[in-house]
Amino acid sequence: MQAILEIAKLTFSDAIRNKIFYGVFIFLIMLLLTAIALASVTMGRTELMIMDLGLGSISILGNLMAIIITIQSLQQERESRTLYVLITRLEQRWKYIIGKFSGLAAVLSIQIILMCLLLALCIVMFGGIYWQSYMQACFTTILEIWIIIGIALLFAQSSSLFLAILLTLAVDIAGRFTFAIRQLGEQSDNPALQFLTQAMYYILPNLEAVNLRNQAGYIVQYEWPQLLQICTYSMSEIALLLCICSFIFSRKNLS
- Determine whether 194 is exposed, middle or buried from the number of CB atoms within 10 Å of its CB (0-12, 13-18, 19+): middle
Q: State yes or no: pLDDT of 251 exceeds 60.
A: yes
The model's pLDDT over 179-233, given as tens digits with 9 standing for 90+, comes to 888 887 778 778 887 888 888 888 888 888 888 888 777 766 667 778 889 999 9
The pTM for the full model equals 0.90
Q: Given this model, what pLDDT does residue 44 score?
A: 64
Residue 151: band (very low, low, confident or very high) from pLDDT cuts 50, 70, 90: very high
Q: State yes or no: pLDDT of 237 exceeds 70.
A: yes
More confident residue, 3 or 147: 147
User: Beta-carbon neighbour count of residue 35 at 10 Å?
Assistant: 20
Q: Given this model, what pLDDT does residue 109 score?
A: 93
Q: State yes or no: pLDDT of 255 exceeds 60.
A: no
The model's pLDDT over 22-58, given as tens digits with 9 standing for 90+, comes to 767 777 777 777 777 766 676 667 778 888 888 888 8
- Residues paired with 217 in a beta bridge: 130
Q: What are the counts of helices (DSSP H) followed by strands (DSSP E) for the chain?
A: 10, 0
Q: Given this model, what pLDDT does residue 31 score?
A: 73
Q: Which range, of 1-15, 92-106, 132-146, 236-250, averages the lowest pLDDT?
A: 1-15
Cβ neighbours for 233, distance < 8 A, ≥ 6 positions apart? 206, 209, 210
